[in-house]
Structure 1
């Protein structure tokens, strides 16, 4: 099953992430907030995720209520005391003794910053030392912020905007690969602004695949430390995303796709 999911990444002892994961954002209500419109369908998708063997599930409090024991929890508030409170809320809501991974997110995809993260990350590192968090990650950060975090505590993952058309983090992908840190591209298919290129569709037509599968397969091939979290509210679409791990991209197709970002 893990072969069908692109294998696994093990950035730390006791943490094995399937390279094809799942992002829960699309399960939330309107505006990516509140309970799902169709709770039964949302639960069916999550059950399908678990049954597929996926061990990398990304979610956050504002995506909606917890309906499964999440693998990834994302801490978004920049104030240390509120970060701690959110961790305690997650522990209580999920009924667990420790969170597997907490991602500290500082910037925004449209407005990244290079502010110091020492105070916030240090607060989460303290909770890690107490055993309430097993591993720490970062989201929407720069190389300088990664360096700053690593001086405080180990980092198992970096979650930044990255896809076929948005490759400003090429150097960070290489840097994290060298450090055995998982790189988790969010919006792997463009997110709220789908990829504006006809190239994936042309390649997909030749390979009897979908353009979305081509884009995901390109990311998996891009670097062995990349782990995907495509989101969907459809079991059928979930199966399509999983199948992308088995899609082999010929060298000429890769060359075409590499040319998208110029």
Structure 2
């Protein structure tokens, strides 16, 4: 574990494996403007100041407000900072998420993200969901076009099965997969293993299972032994689980942000790792 690789390459950008997920920097239900905008900007700036060079956002966060906030807080962007975004959801209200894979929607999302983030190329654009009512070939046609035009550098997928990944890999190269995965919910274990074999980044969303309290029982004794928080142990377990995992814990607090980033300093023994894995 001490020799664990703490970086992972997406394309030609070397990423520190603990990044930052910006979804929480929005209104209630991931809808509307964040309540305390100045604090939100401070959190983003603190992330970059503390060595984060991978920030995950999406057109759907707000919608649109989150990307605008990131540009306001961080543009012009630090060299080597990778901002990943996503497209393919309609947002009709708080906590409402409707997949829309129509080519028109995808094209508009890509163009909109470029504009809001004030960039000429998206480092990593991810399809937020495969829309069951649209052929994925049609959904990805404007993505392939944008890659050819130099507007997208790398493409990722979210919440997909191995079969879906393979299908898309026949259409264009994939750099990452973002599925729900944490110590408590490991239904995508096979997808994680497949991405590791393929050399793709695996980006677990919900890495803390919506709050360390849900993980408390599993982790308490090991956290005490490391003088660490429950969240830090949960993140350290993910880092040890597979070297292609990139973490994007989100928070509205600079203190929590700094705590999360310290997860890389925790060396879980094989025994501790197995104890956590098998509970």
1:251 offset after TM fit, Å?
A: 2.2
In the superposition, relative to structure 1, how do residues 192 and 214 fare at CA in structure 2: closer, same or farther (>3 Å)?
closer
Maintained 8 Å contact 1:72/1:103: yes
CA distance in 1, matches of 2:10, 2:56: 16
Question: Deviation above 4 Å: which 4+ runs of structure 1?
Answer: 113-116
Could you say which residue in structure 1 is the equivalent of 2:94? Answer: none
Maintained 8 Å contact 2:125/2:154: yes
CA distance in 1, matches of 2:213, 2:101: 29
Tell me which of 14, 17, 31 is aligned to 1:16: 14
In the superposition, relative to structure 1, how do residues 51 and 211 fare at CA in structure 2: closer, same or farther (>3 Å)?
same
Could you say which residue in structure 2 is the equivalent of 1:75? Answer: 87
**TM-score between both structures, scaled by the size of structure 1:** 0.89
**TM-score between both structures, scaled by the size of structure 2:** 0.84
Could you say which residue in structure 2 is the equivalent of 1:230? Answer: 249
The answer for unaligned runs of 5 or more in structure 2 is 72-81, 89-99
The answer for unaligned runs of 5 or more in structure 1 is none
CA distance in 1, matches of 2:133, 2:182: 21
Q: 2:127 aligns to what SS in structure 1?
A: strand
CA distance in 1, matches of 2:212, 2:243: 26
CA distance in 2, matches of 1:189, 1:116: 33
In the superposition, relative to structure 1, how do residues 176 and 154 fare at CA in structure 2: closer, same or farther (>3 Å)?
same
Q: Does 1:106 align with 2:125?
A: no
Could you say which residue in structure 2 is the equivalent of 1:121? Answer: 140
What is the aligned residue count?
252
Maintained 8 Å contact 1:117/1:145: no
1:89 offset after TM fit, Å?
A: 1.1
CA RMSD of aligned residues (A): 2.2
Deviations 1:37-82 (CA, angstroms, capped at 9, x unpaired): 1111000000001111211101112323222247011112311111
Q: 2:9 aligns to what SS in structure 1?
A: strand
